[in-house]
């Protein structure tokens, strides 16, 4: 990446979020509180096995830069909660999406041909395009490794956060994969450990007991465990990691 590309990436993904907060703060003070949500990403806590798929190639620098900005947004929202929740009645969250249908993802996977002018919802209904998108899901979707997310689920998550009906506490970094949410801590527990897929390690190891719906409530018993492709949590597997 060139310096210009790096600066542009940070300006869009990180500086813009900070400036939004700065501009919003007077309105929060005037209103006696409110809710701030930063758009982060599951990439804020990718393990080494997923990162290594970049292979040190031309795109590796972009992956590094992108993950850095999303980790920064995640920490920024945690800091807003810590600094302003009690004193200013401001709730703050980072939403850390897995792989969802979006312009960014369409460009990343290379399915933009023939979808110009279509909304993300329309692309999500196109089985030919979603099949190509779904091929990248195992790398980024711990709960639905065979399915790219429908963005309406992020919308439902946002509604619950904004209207206060969510059970996720302020300060949480919430990963969302289709209609499931879980704390980013589920990924952080492995982010600094050696994960080797060739040795049989899983890409992800999320405990179904800690997975919620988009409002932070428990799914019906057995719902998550019954999802196609979900591999679940293995204490023995985690102990085996270096």
**201-217 confidence digits (pLDDT tens):** 888 889 999 999 999 99
Q: Are 137 and 144 in contact (CB under 8 A)?
A: yes
CB atoms within 10 A of CB 120: 18
Tens-digit pLDDT profile for residues 38-73: 999 999 998 888 887 765 565 667 788 889 999 999
Three-state secondary-structure class, residue 130: helix
Instruction: Report residue 178 CA to chain centroid gap.
Output: 11
Closest CA to 42 of 98, 94, 106, 93: 98
How many Å apart are CA 162 and CA 4, to the nearest integer?
A: 36
Cα angle: 114, vertex 119, 125; to 5 degrees: 75
List Cβ neighbours of 6 (8 Å cut-off, separation of 6 or more). 65
How many Å apart are CA 88 and CA 113, to the nearest integer?
A: 47
How many Å apart are CA 211 and CA 143, to the nearest integer?
A: 9
Cα angle: 58, vertex 16, 214; to 5 degrees: 85
Instruction: Report residue 113 CA to chain centroid gap.
Output: 25
Q: What is the pLDDT of residue 239?
A: 45
Domains of the chain as residue ranges with CATH: 3-99+136-240 (3.40.50)
Q: Model's pTM, two decimal places?
A: 0.85
At 122, is the pLDDT very low, low, confident or very high (cuts 50, 70, 90)?
Answer: low
Q: What is the pLDDT of residue 114?
A: 53
How many Å apart are CA 140 and CA 148, to the nearest integer?
A: 9
In the predicted structure, residue 112 carries a pLDDT above the cut 50: no
Structural tokens at position 206: 């999320």
More confident residue, 136 or 145: 145
Beta strands 90-97 and 173-177: pairing type?
parallel
CB atoms within 10 A of CB 44: 24
At 78, is the pLDDT very low, low, confident or very high (cuts 50, 70, 90)?
Answer: very high
């Amino acid at each position: 990446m060139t310096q210009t590309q790096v600066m542009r990436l940070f300006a869009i993904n990180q500086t813009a979020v900070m400036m939004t907060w700065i501009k919003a703060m007077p309105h929060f003070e005037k209103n006696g509180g409110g809710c701030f949500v930063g758009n982060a990403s599951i990439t804020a806590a990718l393990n080494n096995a997923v990162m290594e798929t970049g292979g040190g190639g031309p795109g590796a620098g972009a992956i590094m830069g992108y993950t850095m900005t999303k980790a920064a947004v995640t920490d920024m929202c945690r800091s807003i909660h810590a600094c302003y929740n009690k004193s200013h009645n401001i709730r703050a969250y980072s939403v850390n999406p897995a792989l969802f249908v979006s312009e960014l993802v369409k460009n990343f996977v290379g399915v933009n041909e023939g979808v110009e002018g279509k909304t993300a919802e329309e692309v999500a209904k196109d089985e030919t395009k979603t099949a190509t998108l779904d091929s990248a899901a195992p790398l980024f979707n711990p709960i639905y490794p065979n399915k790219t997310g429908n963005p309406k689920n992020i919308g439902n998550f946002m509604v619950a956060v904004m209207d206060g009906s969510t059970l996720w506490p302020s300060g949480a970094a919430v990963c969302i994969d289709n209609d499931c949410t879980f704390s980013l801590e589920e990924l952080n527990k492995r982010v600094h450990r050696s994960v080797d897929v060739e040795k049989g390690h899983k890409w992800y190891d999320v405990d179904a007991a800690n997975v919620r719906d988009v409002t932070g409530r428990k799914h019906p018993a057995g719902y998550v465990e019954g999802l196609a492709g979900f591999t679940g949590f293995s204490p023995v597997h985690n102990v085996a990691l270096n």
